[in-house]
Structure 1
Amino acid sequence: MDMNLQKYRAFVKTVEYGSFTKAAELLNYSQSGISRMIGDLEKEWGITLLERGRSGVRLTSDGLKLLPFAQNLCREWDQLQMQVDELKGLRSGLIRIGAFSSAATHWLPKIIKEFQRDYPNIDYELLLGDYTEIENWIAEGRIDCGFLRIPTLPELDTVFLEQDELLVVLAEDHPLAACAAFPIQALSDYPFLLLEKNGKSDVSQLFDRWGITPHIHFTTWDDYAVLSMVESGLGISILPQLILQPLNRPIVAKPLEVPAYRKLGLALRDKKNAPLAVKRFLDYLSYR
């Protein structure tokens, strides 16, 4: 505890009990130690706080004016310590999470369900965005952690979660619906529905790597819109497997002729100095 705060507490308790001796017993100091701390305050402030007498101590007029301020400081410190203790025991707290839609839909409910069994009083704030938005929110301190594609910004700490396979999705009556693996070159033969928002998506990066220029018929960041359009026969797409769970639509998903994946993880600014609730949250990621 700050030494000045100890002096304020010595002053407050001496007034409350009317005695250096009783204040010393309560605060676990010697009587001379309590007297010295109050004397130090009087020297620092250049005023007399207490009148000493055989019958005990009593406030001076200056001391009477300053006592409420010292009491407030001690009270606020006690409340601060109480809040710190609560957070240490995770009896309260807030976790601010960023996520792309499929992680928010398929992972977060399972993780939070298990986490809340042990820490029922933790609250959550969820921001939905794309990889770039989530990276920026973490870097700016807008959120505590975020699910995204890795590698990410070099200044962020990351926890690898899993590889998510990228699959070609097409209508059940598509000519290649029965193929074992979708040919890479055939991606250019049909209207393509691209899931992309800011920057290059996983799929656009694949096209660059393979030297393919597909006929992009529609671009959106809404994965369910892409699924509905594929279902209607408006084109084909490549989507991560996580989005396709469960696949309860009249469409089929095929692996690529050359298997492709995205690496997913959780990122935060500083894992070592993260809030305690966030550190505990990391222990529950396996429940996804």
Structure 2
Amino acid sequence: MHRHIALQKIIDLGSFSKAAEALGYTQSSISQMISSLEDELSIKLLYRSRVGVKLTLEGADLYPFIQRSILQYQAMQQKVNEIKGLETGVIRVGTISSITCHWMPQLIKEFQALYPNVQFILHQGDYSSIQEWIKAGAVDFGFITPPAVTGLQTITIKEGSMLAVLPSNHKLASQSTVNLHEIVNEPFILLEEGHFSEPMEAFHVCNLEPNIKFRMHDDYAIMTMVEAGLGISVLAELVLRRTNYNIVSLPVDPPVIRTLAIGYKDKNSLPIASKYFIEYLLSNIEKLP
């Protein structure tokens, strides 16, 4: 195949010496490669003239096949590199706590069944920190919400409800839904998600300003504080699925919706293992809670 590539470079540049320089060979070794190829094929491929090097008539007939063989070889090499990348790949993901707990374990387990040597590094943060990690290259991609990011490519995965979370003995706990107006003056525990918060957006759309008493990064710590009667909160339904806290979760009116997406700088520059993982995730969206 090196002889075919040498021939292609000679045709492209019109010169043995320029081809040798471009490929890092001596001129004599390039000449020997072409002689060897001509001997093997029993066809004269090139002739030299005062204006440079050109294909013979027979060479011109054969050249499209040689070009195709080079393309196939390069495609094979690319696939080899992909396989090697999946053998030794590390996938670095920026993730929020509900995704870490309720999506990643199953996704990682199934993906590693296909590619056992791929390793995962999870960086848990909020919409702002994950966005910065992606832009700085600290993670390959991350889970974010599209309204919270700028300058990134995003693929929306799912929408999910957010629910009001109350102590079980709260005066509103027996209702089927709670209105934002009913809870606006309650002590509110805000899940700190950086510069963007779905509950805060929902309050502001209704021209309401909640009575924020605590700001916390951890959904589970918030549930503990709600259980202790220190306030109420609005959290993603996803994170409320497997809890044994003595709390009540109710739909909110008007509904508070969270859109989850994958964000990255540029799909073409993603490491191959991360590309494969994103493709796997997108083909298994229906399985995700």
User: TM-score when scaled to structure 1?
Assistant: 0.70
Q: Which residue in the other structure is 2:88 paired with? A: 92
How far apart, in 1, do the equivalents of 2:92 and 2:148 lie?
19
Aligned length: 229
Q: Which residue in the other structure is 2:25 paired with? A: 7
5 Å-filtered alignment, 1:56-95, equals 85-88=80-83, 90-95=86-91
**Larger CA deviation: 151-160 vs 112-121:** 151-160
The answer as to whether partners of 1:114 and 1:284 remain within 8 angstroms in 2 is no
**Larger CA deviation: 102-111 vs 144-153:** 144-153
**1:30 deviation in Å?**
5.9
**1:154 deviation in Å?**
4.2
2:220 aligns with one of 209, 217, 224: 224
The answer as to whether partners of 1:132 and 1:198 remain within 8 angstroms in 2 is yes
Aligned partner letter, 1:7? Y
The answer as to whether partners of 2:199 and 2:256 remain within 8 angstroms in 1 is no
Superposed CA deviations along residues 223-267 of structure 1, whole A, max 9, x for unmatched, are 111100111111111111121121322111000121110100111
**1:91 deviation in Å?**
2.0
Structure 1's 95 and 231: CA in aligned 2 closer, same or farther, altered over 3 A? Answer: same
1:175 equivalent to 2:175? Answer no
Superposed CA deviations along residues 54-108 of structure 1, whole A, max 9, x for unmatched, are xxxxxxxxxxxxxxxxxxxxxxxxxxx9998343452221211111111111111
Q: Secondary structure at the match of 1:185?
A: helix
Q: Which residue in the other structure is 2:200 paired with? A: 204
How far apart, in 2, do the equivalents of 1:195 and 1:159 lie?
24
**1:283 deviation in Å?**
2.1
Q: Secondary structure at the match of 1:259?
A: strand
1:121 equivalent to 2:94? Answer no
1:271 equivalent to 2:267? Answer yes
User: Which consecutive unaligned segments of at least 5 residues does structure 1 have?
Assistant: 12-19, 32-80
Q: Secondary structure at the match of 2:266?
A: coil
The answer as to whether partners of 1:98 and 1:134 remain within 8 angstroms in 2 is yes
Aligned partner letter, 1:160? T
Q: Percent identity?
A: 35
User: TM-score when scaled to structure 2?
Assistant: 0.70
How far apart, in 2, do the equivalents of 1:261 and 1:29 lie?
66
**1:29 deviation in Å?**
4.4
How far apart, in 2, do the equivalents of 1:138 and 1:28 lie?
51
How far apart, in 1, do the equivalents of 2:168 and 2:267 lie?
45
How far apart, in 2, do the equivalents of 1:245 and 1:284 lie?
24
How far apart, in 2, do the equivalents of 1:28 and 1:193 lie?
77
Q: Which residue in the other structure is 1:144 paired with? A: 140
How far apart, in 1, do the equivalents of 2:137 and 2:36 lie?
42
